[in-house]
Structure 1
Amino acid sequence: MHAQKLGAEIKKIRAMRGLTQKQLSDNICHQSEVSRIESGVVYPSMDILQGIAAKLQVPIIHFYEVLAYSDIERKKQFMSHIKVLCKQKKYEEIYKKVWDELKKEEDHPEFQQFLLWHHHLSAYVLKKVNYEYCILELKKLINHQLVGIDVFQNLYIENSIANIYAENGHIQKSLELYQDILKQLESLHSNEEFAIKVGYNYAKTLYSDEQYERALYQVKAAIETSCSIGNMTLIGQLFYQKGECLEQLGHPEDDSRIAYEKALFFFELLDLYAYKNTLLNKLNV
């Protein structure tokens, strides 16, 4: 990919300068070598690249900047794709793509952390490793305070650990971790969308622990944040959770019914059919 990007850039500038491959190659290398470089078949040696840069009248640093930018954009696109696959719960595909990327011996700490995070998480979901091993490896990722690591990515990994604790019956550890994440997010004064997600996970775990008052408080806070920033990602699930909390706490039936109706509205609006059917079955509609 990098060789192709570099070759395309050399070819573009050569055309802008009105030079043929033969003219560019004169006193530098054979014309066939320029052809192979522009086709992305080979990287030029340092001497050849310096000669090409001089002939094209551009600083050699320009080509390194092109490669660096290309790599950054590729990583951003890769990370975005993995996040989409996570939402779709396509963990087999995540596991394969991340493993293939890890074999490239990545040297950027934040990207390396991202890859290892999704490698361990997908391995756990696919039952390739047990939850204790997965948590141990995820903790290693956030305990290594490396330069270049996004503070929010550490919190995302902590949220994954809290979720795994909750799934495996370690409720107290899960609750403590959710609380800590929310406190850190409050001090950072940013990333409300992630705060909503953590609040929802926290409320679900509180509900499963029969702490209905606390769960309702967290749900209301998450709904308020969702409305204030106009984010509907989890709004249906939050109203559904609110309805369940109200039922357990013995509130008037109309209160829970209103919450369920709002949840149903958003499930239909966002095409969340699985959630919609679950709610309809609950209501025996």
Structure 2
Amino acid sequence: MYYKLFKNSKNNASCFFSHLSDDYEHHSTLLDKKYNYSYRRPHQMNLKHFSKELAWLRIKNGLSQKELAKGICTQPAISKIENGEVCPQLDTLHLLSLKLKVPLSYFIHILLFENKDYIDQTVTYIEELTSRHRYEEAFRLVKAELTMKNQDPWFEAYLSWQRFYNGYHLKYYTADECLNGLKNLLKNDAIILERFLDIKILNTIGTIYSNQGKYQESIFYYEKILDSYQENTINPLLESKNIYMLRVIYNKAKTLYDARNYELATETVSQGIQLSIKNQNMSLIGQFYYYQGQCFEKLHFPEGKIRKSYTQSLYFFELLGNDTYVGIIKKLKKKYLFQELNTIQASATETYHCS
């Protein structure tokens, strides 16, 4: 069998595929059996995506580049791999997978899939549809994609998640059907680690339980996500994951509020506000301040603190053009609003000023 070789133009170091021969054929056969898809010759090694994933796994495991390199290679070599300058040889890749606690097949899968651009475009379009609550269109697109043969295994798992996610909203599946299907997806840990699909699946499970009023089960899944999340790992490579964690925190806070655990909901809301500021992301900060005001009301906080939370919330809803939320808060929380609005606007603007 003949395969294209990836060669680095700077140091002419070849990727591990240049010397795999029988070993590579063996691994590709294992992948075929495990993921049930026919191997196709790679058109391009996905080194950029692999380098980002390696950096994320290293940080997730609390390792420095020097610590990861120990017993495997040098720290400069790890730096070059994470910068996408070189691709590791098979023996190095195997040792890295052991140290980072992922299967070797996980790394091979990331390096080999050939239709990344198409997958990225399709994922972006599906998520745009779901963000606009156009579940029927998303569901039809997902079903059509799932009929295609020889799908990339991660993409197939992603599509299956979206099928249950959109099908649940459309009531095409019962809650139990969705929960069973989603929990089965979690068994494919060698696949769903990529692009934090595991977190998205766990978040959906938590949401479904919350909608059923099963708050204890819901909180279990949200905490399962948050317990493994390290706030101190803010990094440009991880930006989208950090922002997605805001959704998880918001869902947890909402569930705690619905369960009438107002003290813990207040703590969770504060965590969401702090992470929003740390990531300089305003996507959910209006909702966080709104639930902070709700909790303060239930806990009989001073009226001044309640007013401040709702005024902050209104400011961000108006700033982001969330007219629906603006209408709700003006109607339901009218008695708390409009005092000291200019002061709140000034402080909020200062908070999000880029230094």
| 1:88–1:106 distance in 2 versus 1, CA, 3 Å | farther
One-letter code of the match for 1:223? I
| 1:150–1:276 distance in 2 versus 1, CA, 3 Å | same
One-letter code of the match for 1:137? G
In structure 2, distance between residues paired with 1:110 and 1:147: 5
Match of 2:216 among 160, 172, 175: 172
Cα deviation digits, residues 92-135 of structure 1 (max 9, x gap): 00001111111112431111111000011111111111000011
Are positions 1:202 and 2:252 aligned together? yes
State the match for 1:244 in structure 2: 294
Larger Rg over CA atoms: 1
Are positions 1:257 and 2:307 aligned together? yes
The TM-score with structure 2 as length reference comes to 0.60
Cα RMSD (Å): 2.3
Are positions 1:97 and 2:141 aligned together? yes
| 1:177–1:148 distance in 2 versus 1, CA, 3 Å | closer
Residue 173 (structure 1) shift = 0.1
Cα deviation digits, residues 214-255 of structure 1 (max 9, x gap): 000000011011011100010000000100011111100110
Match of 2:318 among 265, 268, 279: 268
SS of corresponding position for 2:244: helix
One-letter code of the match for 1:111? F
Question: Contact 1:109–1:149 (CA<8 Å) still a contact in 2?
Answer: no
Cα deviation digits, residues 179-213 of structure 1 (max 9, x gap): 11101122893532122111111011001111101
Match of 1:217 among 267, 278, 301: 267
State the match for 2:180 in structure 1: 136
One-letter code of the match for 1:234? L
Within 5 Å, which residues of 2 pair with 1:26-65?
64-65=43-44
Q: Report how many residues are paired.
A: 224
| 1:219–1:63 distance in 2 versus 1, CA, 3 Å | closer
Structure 1: any 5+ residue segments left out of the alignment? Answer: 1-61
Cα deviation digits, residues 24-61 of structure 1 (max 9, x gap): xxxxxxxxxxxxxxxxxxxxxxxxxxxxxxxxxxxxxx
The TM-score with structure 1 as length reference comes to 0.74
Structure 2: any 5+ residue segments left out of the alignment? Answer: 1-40, 46-111, 336-355
Residue 144 (structure 1) shift = 2.2
Question: Contact 2:243–2:281 (CA<8 Å) still a contact in 1?
Answer: yes
State the match for 1:48 in structure 2: none
State the match for 1:281 in structure 2: 331
Question: Contact 1:109–1:148 (CA<8 Å) still a contact in 2?
Answer: no
% identity of equivalent residues = 30
SS of corresponding position for 2:172: coil
| 1:84–1:106 distance in 2 versus 1, CA, 3 Å | farther
In structure 1, distance between residues paired with 2:320 and 2:124: 21
Cα deviation digits, residues 75-105 of structure 1 (max 9, x gap): 1011011111111111000001111111112
Between Structure 1 and Structure 2, the one with more helix by share is 1
Residue 151 (structure 1) shift = 6.3
Question: Contact 2:113–2:152 (CA<8 Å) still a contact in 1?
Answer: no
Question: Contact 1:162–1:177 (CA<8 Å) still a contact in 2?
Answer: yes
Cα deviation digits, residues 240-274 of structure 1 (max 9, x gap): 01000111111001101111011001111111111
In structure 1, distance between residues paired with 2:42 and 2:216: 53
In structure 2, distance between residues paired with 1:187 and 1:217: 15
In structure 2, distance between residues paired with 1:250 and 1:261: 17
Question: Contact 2:42–2:114 (CA<8 Å) still a contact in 1?
Answer: no
State the match for 2:121 in structure 1: 77
Question: Contact 1:109–1:146 (CA<8 Å) still a contact in 2?
Answer: no
In structure 2, distance between residues paired with 1:147 and 1:222: 29
| 1:65–1:224 distance in 2 versus 1, CA, 3 Å | closer
In structure 1, distance between residues paired with 2:146 and 2:174: 21
In structure 2, distance between residues paired with 1:277 and 1:132: 35
